[in-house]
Amino acid sequence: MGTSTRIIEGAAVHESGAGPGLVLLHANGGDHRDFAPVIDRLAGWHRVHAIDWPGWGESEPAGSLTATGYAALLPRVLDRLGSGPVVLLGNSVGGFAAILAAAARPDLVRALVLVDPGGFTPRWPGTIAACRAIGSQRLAPSMMRILPRLYLRRPGPAVDAIRSRSVEMSSDPQLVRVFASIWRSFAEPEHDAREAARRVKAPTLLVWGRRDPVLPWFVDGRRACRALPGAEVVTLPCGHQAYAEMPEEFLAAVDPFLRSIRREVS
């Protein structure tokens, strides 16, 4: 399937398919290739815009970045896509940014698919300290390599590819700086999606991996459910990235939701 790429507001946007707009938003330490197991199927029904956040993939280089900075950037990117209101499919920090964008600019967002989104972690001393430690320049290179081995719980070719890329990226000082900066920002009070989530009016599907050790279902997942009381909820026996770990099961969960959104558009 043919893909074109353009740079919008410093972010690389990889586009394929035709139909209602669907924007893919990756996690910290990744890029649009993380969605490789599902992107062709999604592009069979949608105009898919797979974004590389600034600092990652084919985007423009970036210095100090934060989760809230990505969230502030997203509406500006959506304004320039030309696809009308879109579905946002965001994982981790991508899910955090999607929630804030849907709350701030409901005219740009038709629906949300949130995969283990950030912004629901309790501000316990231990979690704050962990985010700051992972975001330190001393630990960040090794954590870039270690974390995908911990939070991707189902082996397979896509998981192997993500882990291999993380090892390669951990040797790039610029990528390490971006990774560390985003992790440090997770410790800030502004990294809290609950208030924005309560203002979201768009139809929402929440997909959570029950074996995610970074954003545990029984803590972060349940806090997300309380903040998004109208959301449909699906849990899967995987880690942090269901679309890479269990692509067929992920698509089986997401397809009916996206189909219902397409019917509303038509």
- The per-residue pLDDT for range 145-174, each reduced to its tens digit, is 999 999 999 999 999 999 999 999 999 999
Give me the residue spans of the domains in the chain.
4-122+193-259
Task: Give the 3-state secondary structure of 155-203.
Answer: CCHHHHHHHHHHHHHCCCHHHHHHHHHHHHHCCCCCCCCHHHHHHCCCC
Q: What is the pLDDT of residue 161?
A: 98
Backbone angles phi, psi at 222, to 5 degrees: -70, -35
What is the C-alpha separation between 232 and 239, in angstroms, rounded?
19
Q: Is pLDDT of 64 > 80?
A: no
- The per-residue pLDDT for range 82-91, each reduced to its tens digit, is 878 999 999 9
DSSP-assigned letters across all residues of 89-124: EEEEHHHHHHHHHHHH-GGGEEEEEEEEESS-----
Q: What is the pLDDT of residue 84?
A: 83
Q: What is the pLDDT of residue 180?
A: 97
Collapse the DSSP code of 217 into the 3-class scheme (helix H, G, I; strand E, B; otherwise coil) and give the result.
Answer: helix
Closest to 227 (Cα-Cα) out of 205, 198, 206: 198
Residue type, 175: L
Tell the CATH superfamily of the 4-122+193-259 domain: Alpha/Beta hydrolase fold, catalytic domain (3.40.50.1820)
Q: Which of 80-89, 132-141, 203-212, 254-263 has the lowest mean pLDDT?
A: 80-89
Contact 118, 90 (CB under 8 A): no
Closest to 20 (Cα-Cα) out of 99, 74, 116, 89: 89
Q: What is the pLDDT of residue 62?
A: 79
Q: Is pLDDT of 186 > 70?
A: yes
- The per-residue pLDDT for range 227-252, each reduced to its tens digit, is 999 999 999 999 999 999 999 999 99
Average confidence score pLDDT of the chain: 96
Q: What is the pLDDT of residue 1?
A: 57
What is the C-alpha separation between 83 and 69, in angstroms, rounded?
23
Residue type, 207: V
Contact 78, 24 (CB under 8 A): no
Q: What is the pLDDT of residue 265?
A: 76
Rg (CA), the chain: 17
Q: What is the pLDDT of residue 246?
A: 98
| pTM for the whole structure | 0.97
- 10 Å Cβ neighbour count for 49? 26
Q: What is the pLDDT of residue 266?
A: 66
Question: Strands 11-16 and 4-8, how do they pair?
Answer: antiparallel
Q: What is the pLDDT of residue 247?
A: 98
Percent of the chain with pLDDT over 70: 99
Calculate mean pLDDT across residues 18-46.
Answer: 97
Confidence band for 9, pLDDT divided at 50, 70 and 90: very high
Q: What is the pLDDT of residue 82?
A: 84
Calculate mean pLDDT across residues 6-34.
Answer: 97
Q: Is pLDDT of 134 > 60?
A: yes
Q: Report the half-sphere exposure of 179 (CA within 13 A, side-chain side).
A: 27
For residue 215, CA distances in Å to 5, 62, 112, 145 come to: 31, 26, 19, 18
Confidence band for 61, pLDDT divided at 50, 70 and 90: confident
Collapse the DSSP code of 250 into the 3-class scheme (helix H, G, I; strand E, B; otherwise coil) and give the result.
Answer: helix
Q: Which residue has the tokens 């991508």?
A: 94
